[in-house]
Amino acid sequence: MKLDKKHMLFITGLAGLMVLLWVLFPPVISGRDMEGRGPSSTIAAHWIFSKDYIQSGTITGKDLVMKDVSGNSNHLRLINLEDANQKLPFIRWSEEDYEQKDEVETLQFHHKKSDAGGQYFQTGKDAPLNHNRFKNGYTIEAVFKLPKQFSPRDHGDMSIMSRGGERSNLSLSDYKQVHWTSHPLNLKLTETEWSLALDSEEDWYHVAVVNDGKHSSIYINGVADFRHSTAEMIGIDFVKGKGWNIGASEKADDLFAGNLQEVRIANRSLPKEDWLIQHKPGDHVKSGSNLYQSLRTKKKNYSFLFVPDPQKTVRYKPEIFKEQMRWISKRYERLNIAMTAFLGDMVDQSDSLEEWVHSSTSVGILDKRKAPYVTIAGNHDYGKGDPYLKYYGSGRFTDKSYYKDSSPSGYSSYSIIKAGSYPYLFLSLDMEHMKEDIPWAKKVLKAHPKTPTILLSHQILNIDGAAPIETDRGTLAWDELVNPFNQVFMTVNGHHQGSTHRVKQNAAGNPVLQMLVDYQSSYHGGNGWMRFAEFDEADEVIKFKTYSPWVDKLPRPQKTYFDVAYLTGVRDQFQIPFDFEERFDFAR
């Protein structure tokens, strides 16, 4: 077929346009497909931590060099910080990987802050990456898994990667939040982006830090949250003679622990379809489920419901907090929820009228449906003019028969509610006024020696990874109000991100269950998760479940990796044997 001049000009123009688009937006080729293709103009550096991508050396020889599969010669050399007492290498090959493939290997780093030595990787002094300023944006990706038994004491602030000289660092906080601190070219100071907390040691995580040339966002397994800086951030500054560290901060400390599979840096912001990992719809955290679970397993059972620190949802996602209150108000009778207890931090900013109105109006839904509840203040609730007392002081409870009295400070209170075979006393002890309110609290307990009591305070237990640890306030409350008073059988608090519990013996030799529950740093500031304590007197057990009505009502296509209605980890769903007649023998 013979083409006329008009068609020839069209084809020539189309070909020219395709070439221009190829130059402006070159395709992203994965590292595994890149070998033999030459250097990439889009991918600045790409390291795959597998034996298949060794440039030279070995771990045992302490001279391992990992190949830059982008073709840009940013090879990584192993840096050894000697420790005479270290018998095994700090890094070892592992058969674990993101996709759980038999033939894939990753590097496992074994570091603790107490270690005198360690190992990490660093780019060579002549690596092109060392001079890249990323003026047009960037995408930094890492695929990793947390160490078993993550502990802030051992692993807090551990670095995934960093740029030497200018305080640019991708790391994990004590609460397992990824944060990207960078020194942009246009700013004199560093800026930090925060992710949601990584609550699982069983899940693999894919973090992507994406800068479009002006603004940055952090994605975890394809999901971004509300914790991002609004500052304009252009590029990443560098210091001449400094390189990039993988597995260490810029000062070669805060060494990484866990599994590292892959790290890649692109010269521009990449769309999700070009990321290392494509996250599949329906995937979710391993320690969660969207399959129905009964929250009342027997007709005679009753529950107490604990709502942990709503501060972040009230501030950033008020619709979630409102949905929690709607759900409780509609179902508390059907599920026999005898009392709902808020664990403090009713707002995030005590000087924000908008937050107080959101918080109070949402809780007001419980008032309208006459659902029993109690509150305590958290550290975010104190402020000029005592706003907590204005919105949640004794005046709010004057029409509620279960509410009995408040302390002289106005912040502590107690309530009594009948549930099952017993009346239960809820003693809400304020954290800020604890010392001055303890004499009042003692009088309450002395006046009710036969009433099973749950002590609520914003801070009692803390958490070190998974293990519960004592706080100063917790010790004070135990010594003065729990240990000497046999009727106190449970304490519940929030304040510290995480979930843990323990059983401790009081002076009478009886068990006291202590529980910390707080999801404020998790997805969406807690994502509507609440802790149910279902009391089963017949089977002598208390069953604990963690449930989110917000997630449960989300349409399936809208659910992200972190959207699970039920948290099913061992610290979020568990049972405690409890002989009610024996433990409450004082109530006879």
- The answer to whether residue 40 scores a pLDDT higher than 90 is no
Give the per-residue pLDDT at 24.
Answer: 45
- Banded model confidence at residue 7, pLDDT cuts 50, 70, 90: low
pLDDT tens readout for residues 221-265: 999 998 778 899 999 999 999 999 999 998 888 999 999 999 999
- Measured between alpha carbons, how far is 379 from 350 in angstroms, rounded to an integer? 9
DSSP line for 112-133: -TT-S-EEEEEE-TT-GGGG--
Specify the pLDDT at position 25. 46
For residues 136-150, average pLDDT: 96
Taking each helix axis from N to C end, the angle separating 353-368 and 318-331, rounded to the nearest 10 degrees, works out to 10
pLDDT in tens, 262-295: 999 999 999 999 999 998 888 999 999 999 999 9
Higher pLDDT, 104 or 401: 401
CA distances from 323 to 148, 317, 328, 419, 534 (A): 35, 10, 9, 25, 21
Which residue did the predictor score with more confidence, 86 or 167?
167
Burial 423-460 (b: 16+ CB within 10 A, else e): ebbbbbbbbbbbeebbebbeebbeebeebbbbbbbbbb
**Residues forming a β-bridge with 344:** none
Which position has the higher pLDDT, 297 or 465? 297
Whether residue 177 is predicted with pLDDT greater than 60 in this model: the reply is yes
Q: pLDDT value at position 27?
A: 47
User: For residue 517, which of 286, 309, 287 has the smallest C-alpha distance?
Assistant: 309
Of the candidates 552, 528, 557, the one whose C-alpha atom is nearest the C-alpha of residue 291 is 552
Residue 577, token pair as written in the block: 């044997």
The pLDDT of residue 2 is: 52
pLDDT above 50 (res 20): no
* Average confidence (pLDDT) over 526-551: 99
Beta strand segments in 212-336, E = 216-220, 244-246, 258-266, 288-289, 302-307
In which element (H, E) is residue 477 found?
A: helix 472-477
Rg over CA atoms, the chain: 28
pLDDT class of 30 with cuts at 50, 70, 90: very low
- How confident is the model over 431-469, as pLDDT tens digits? 999 999 999 999 999 999 999 999 999 999 999 988 999
Contacting residues for 471 by C-beta, under 8 A, at least 6 apart? 459, 460, 461, 462
Looking at residue 251, what is its pLDDT?
A: 87
pLDDT, position 8: 52
More confidently predicted of 226 and 403:
403
Q: Is the pLDDT score of 586 beyond 50?
A: yes
Q: Is the pLDDT of residue 339 over 90?
A: yes
26-51 mean pLDDT: 70
Q: What is the mean pLDDT of residues 82-109?
A: 83
Report the pLDDT averaged over residues 194-216.
95
Mark out the alpha helices in 27-129 (DSSP H runs).
31-34
Pairing of strands 467-470, 461-464: antiparallel
pLDDT for 377 equals 99
For residue 14, pLDDT beyond 60: no
In the chain, the amino acid numbered 401 is: S
Contact 297, 536 (CB under 8 A): yes
pLDDT at 101: 78
Q: Which tokens hold the place of 242?
A: 């400094």
Residue of 72, 51, 44, 77 lying closest to 62 (CA atoms): 77
Name the band, by pLDDT with cuts 50, 70 and 90, for residue 302: very high
Residue ranges and CATH numbers for the domains of the chain are 27-272 (2.60.120.200), 301-587 (3.60.21.10)
Q: Dig out the tokens for 270 from the structure.
A: 């990449």
Q: What is the pLDDT of residue 16?
A: 52
What pLDDT, in 10s, does the model give residues 463-491?
998 899 999 999 999 999 999 999 999 99
Query: Three-state SS for 68?
Result: strand
Of residues 466 and 328, more confidence is placed in 328
Sign, Cα dihedral of 452, 453, 454, 460: negative
Contact 461, 497 (CB under 8 A): no
Per-residue pLDDT for 426 more than 60? Answer: yes
Does residue 34 have a pLDDT over 50?
no
Q: Mean of the per-residue pLDDT values for the chain?
A: 93
C-alpha distances in Å from residue 187, one per residue of 59, 101, 195, 240, 556: 40, 44, 22, 18, 42
User: Taking the model in full, what pTM does it have?
Assistant: 0.91
Beta strands in 373-435 (DSSP E): 373-374, 403-406, 413-419, 422-428
Whole-angstrom distance, CA of residue 256 vs CA of residue 242: 20
Q: Is 298 exposed, middle or buried (0-12, 13-18, 19+ CB in 10 A)?
A: middle
Question: Nearest-CA neighbor of 263 among 86, 382, 115, 144?
Answer: 144
> Has residue 573 got a pLDDT over 70?
yes
